[in-house]
Amino acid sequence: NNMPTLRNYHILISHSWTYSAQYNTVCSWFDNTAYFTWSNYSVCCNKPLDTKNDAELKEKLRNRISSASCIVVLAGMYATYSKWIDFEIETAQTMNTPIIGVKPWGQERIPLKIQNASCEMVGWNSASIINAVRKYAV
């Protein structure tokens, strides 16, 4: 049995809790892709980190980002106004964690800060996202 060992990608999906349907879609793409194994380092609305304040949340996010192979940022225009998405991008940049920007379905405009921070902006489909993770994940 000479099957190559599967790599487990540690992925943090940076997203707005208000738009959790997009987040759920990306998770299902990762879950349903053959020969692709991942661990979810994201903080999602149904399982917020148990923190008392912003400082504690930042600390926990920092720990997750430092353990992540890459950050996938859902580049909705709402991201322009999210201090948490900002924090995740800036933290990933200081840690040299690759950032993959994903253009949500049917969206023309992308926040500049995500374009500038990403190694690549990919379209709204599972193959593009998976290929980018395989290409850039550390």
pLDDT at 47: 56
pLDDT at 46: 55
- pLDDT (tens place) for every residue of the chain, 138 residues total: 566 668 999 999 998 777 788 899 999 999 999 999 999 998 765 556 677 888 888 998 999 999 999 999 998 877 777 888 899 999 999 999 999 999 988 888 888 999 999 999 999 999 999 999 999 999
> With contact defined as beta carbons under 8 Å apart, do 118 and 73 qualify?
yes
Q: Which residues of 23-39 are buried (b: 16+ CB within 10 A; e: fewer)?
A: beebbebbeeeeebebe
> Crossing angle for the helix pair 126-136 and 20-31, nearest 10 degrees?
70
Give the Cα separation of 59 and 40 in Å (integer). Answer: 18
pTM here is 0.89
80 C-beta neighbours (distance < 10 Å), count: 15
